[in-house]
Every structure is written in structure tokens, then in C-alpha cells.
Structure 1
Amino acid sequence: MRSLLPPGQREVHFKKETPQRRRLVLARMAEAGVRCWLYTADRVGGHEEARQACLAALTEDLLDACALRLVLDSRDRRDRFDAISIRAVLGKVARVSGLVYEHLPSHQEELLWIADAVAWSVGAGGDWSRRVSALVSRTVPVRDPG
């Protein structure tokens, strides 16, 4: 992913990329064999509630997969909502699970660029959704508790 950065750019952020760069990035991700899980929720209770429902479902799946690390794109003060949702799922198994989580600015973790590219493309719909569909190996619809 880092090799896709133009000189002077610190991160790949799809909202800011040109359509030509978006196509290039998605093509390179496909060539590299990137595969993602996509969590979706209706925003009945609002964006934050939908995000937290998806994050709780993701955390449960990561525990089942014996994952050791979860990195989220920092949203500054809103990071606390993520921590509450993750801790609620981890409960008493937090120590024995070995799963650690952290929030980082997206320029510090290039794998966050993949999540951004996939989410943007799915949200944009049309040709972008079609282009990214091969990267999505699993779609998880999550019920919004709101």
C-alpha cells in the first residue's frame, strides 16, 4: 500500500483520491489478494449506534478467529465509544483472549487504507461497488440496536 503513495502524500484516503487513482488502488489490492469482511447496519439509531453494533459483531468474530490485534482509525474523542463497545464484548475474557485494540491515525497504519477504500467504494455504489466486490469475502449484516 505504501508504494501507492504519490510523493508528499502520507496516506491513501479514497475521499480525496481522483477516480483514476481509486481504480489503480483497487486493482493493486486485488492483485495482492486482499480479502475483507464487510459489516453493514441500517442507521436506524444513527451513524454512531450502527458503527458500535458493527464493532461489537466484529469483536465477537475476532475472538472466534483467535485474533490478537484490532487497529481502528482514530476519531479522537469518539474513540471512547469504540472502547466501550469492545470492552463490553470482551468482558471477562479480555486477558485470556489476547486480543488488544488500539486507535491510530490512519497515516500510521497502512492497512487502515484498505478498510477506507473498501468502505468508500461500497458506499459509493455503482461501478465502485462492483470493482471492490471481489475483495469482500464475507458480508455480515448487523442489526442496529437503536
Structure 2
Amino acid sequence: MPVHAFIDESARAQTYLICVAIVDPAQLSPARKQLTTLLLPGQRELHFKTEKPPRRRLLADRIAGLPVTTYIYATGRTPKTEEQDRQRCLERAVRDLMDLNAHRLVFDSRDLRDRHDRTTIYRALGRRPAATNITYEHLNSAGTPLLWIPDAVAWCYGAGGDWRRRIMPVVTKVTEV
């Protein structure tokens, strides 16, 4: 069965992370509803780095209970190579998603830098991208609750310690790129 994937990043010290949340189509609506119930009054989106630690713990625990799996792609980083680091992780992720029969890839938009992703995706899909039946788009996370999953998982995984432990129930695969 084709899956949907939601992709976001996190950068910590000397590590760059891409997180892919993989959601079965039957779970899209239930997961979306569960996430939106976590919003506070007046809040438009969950963005992990802006939350206070007690709320982060609650969110991490709730996200770890969602019916999703996530893949983490990690590589070393420097400010000068961050875009190249992202693209290396992204290329590996897209190839893995093709093996999973992914149908739709949704990326947290980085506005003008989205063009780099499009080039990498096209290259990863190979000479006949239409034959893969994969569609992809960059969207704003405020309007796409399922993008909150990879944001939280990448943040927690990158933070390590108890944060990583809390989110590990949904982490299926970690790949060093």
C-alpha cells in the first residue's frame, strides 16, 4: 500500500538531521486530528523549539503514541556545508521512500531554498520520475499538522538523552549519511 511521507529538518551543533514521518493513508485523518487537539488556544502550529520543556515532554509523549513510523537521516554539518548536508540526506531518504512505495512526499517549505530540494528529488527519482508515481510538494507547516511530527522527532532525537528516549517508539530507522 502506498504511504505518505512528511519531511522536516533539525540542526544541532555538528549534526544535521532529516526526519521522515511515514503515515499509512488510513491514518492520515486520525493522526491529523490527534495533533490539532494538542494546540493551545490561539496557537496555529506546533513548533518544537519554541515550546517550553514541560509542554515538550507532553508533546513528545503524545507524538510517540501516534500510528506512524519515522526514519532519521543524520550527517555531520558545518554552516558552510549545511545545504549540501541536507541534500545528501534528502537524496537517501527519497530512495528509501521509493522502496516503500511512497505516494506523496510533503516537505516543510524553506521558501526560496525549496528549489534545491526539487533538484535533488528529481535526481533521486531517476531518469523517469513519472514512472515512480511519487508526487511531492513543499508546504507551510502551520497548515499541515502532519509536518509537526518530523519537527518534533528530529528535535528530540537531536537533543539526545531523555528527549530521544521519549520519541524512540516511533523511530524505526536511523541512517548515517
Q: TM-score, normalised by structure 1?
A: 0.91
Q: Does 1:130 align with 2:160?
A: no
Deviation at 1:50, TM superposition (A): 1.0
Q: CA RMSD in A?
A: 1.3
Distance 2:100 2:45 in 1: 29
Find 1:37's aligned residue among 44, 53, 71.
Answer: 71
Percent sequence identity is 48
Distance 1:127 1:141 in 2: 21
Find 2:135's aligned residue among 100, 103, 113.
Answer: 100
Paired residue for 1:79?
Answer: 114
Deviation at 1:62, TM superposition (A): 1.1
Secondary structure, in 3 states, of the residue corresponding to 1:85?
helix
Deviation at 1:10, TM superposition (A): 0.7
Alignment size in residue pairs: 142
**Could you report, residue by residue, the CA deviation over 1:28-74 in whole angstroms, capped at 9, with x for unpaired residues?**
12222432111111126721111100100011011111111000000
Amino acid at match of 2:84: E
What 5-or-longer segments of structure 1 have no aligned partner? Answer: none
Deviation at 1:128, TM superposition (A): 1.0
* Higher strand fraction (1 or 2): 2
Following TM superposition, the consecutive aligned residue runs of length 4 or more in structure 1 with deviations greater than 6 angstroms are none
* Higher helix fraction (1 or 2): 1
Q: TM-score, normalised by structure 2?
A: 0.76
User: 8 Å contact 2:153–2:167 — kept in the other structure?
Assistant: yes
Paired residue for 2:176?
Answer: 141
What 5-or-longer segments of structure 2 have no aligned partner? Answer: 1-34
Distance 2:161 2:174 in 1: 17
Amino acid at match of 2:132: S
